[in-house]
Copies of this chain bind each other. A is one copy, B any other.
């Protein structure tokens, strides 16, 4: 087996646990991140930044709303936005509710997003070429299914 197995027996009743799903996910996630970032690097974008870009638009959007859609920690997003604001891709403003920090893309940000989308298409096609299109489709479905069963931990619902 190619991936290191994290499971040591431990005498206990019932079925043995399967090899560590989390380790495989982490490892595959790392490799695919590198894979996609090869295509985004020419644009000076990290994968996280790209994912923020594609979830932003011209319409102002509150930070928490964006964080929820990205399923990213609010405070992580705050800090991830800083370099994007400095580079003029994103603007932050305040509306009638002065608590909300409203975020939107600048024209530069919109243009970058389009270029980045083009690169993403190349990356995804390339990934499908490596994995096989049918396999990629199946994998997507399994990931989808797993996501449906493992709900995000929502601090707001506890």
Interfacial residues, chain A to chain B (CB-CB below 8 A): 1-4, 6-8, 10, 12, 15, 17-36, 47, 51, 54-55, 69, 71, 117-118, 120-121, 123-125, 127-128, 130-133, 135-140, 142-153
**Residues in B neighbouring A30, C-beta threshold 8 A:** 71, 152
Copies of this chain, count = 2
Is the beta-carbon distance between B33 and A22 smaller than 8 angstroms? Answer: yes
**Residues in B neighbouring A150, C-beta threshold 8 A:** 28, 31-32, 35, 127, 130-131
Is the beta-carbon distance between A147 and B29 smaller than 8 angstroms? Answer: no
Can you name the residue of chain B whose Cβ is closest to the Cβ of A113? B8
Is the beta-carbon distance between A25 and B25 smaller than 8 angstroms? Answer: yes
Is the beta-carbon distance between A18 and B148 smaller than 8 angstroms? Answer: no
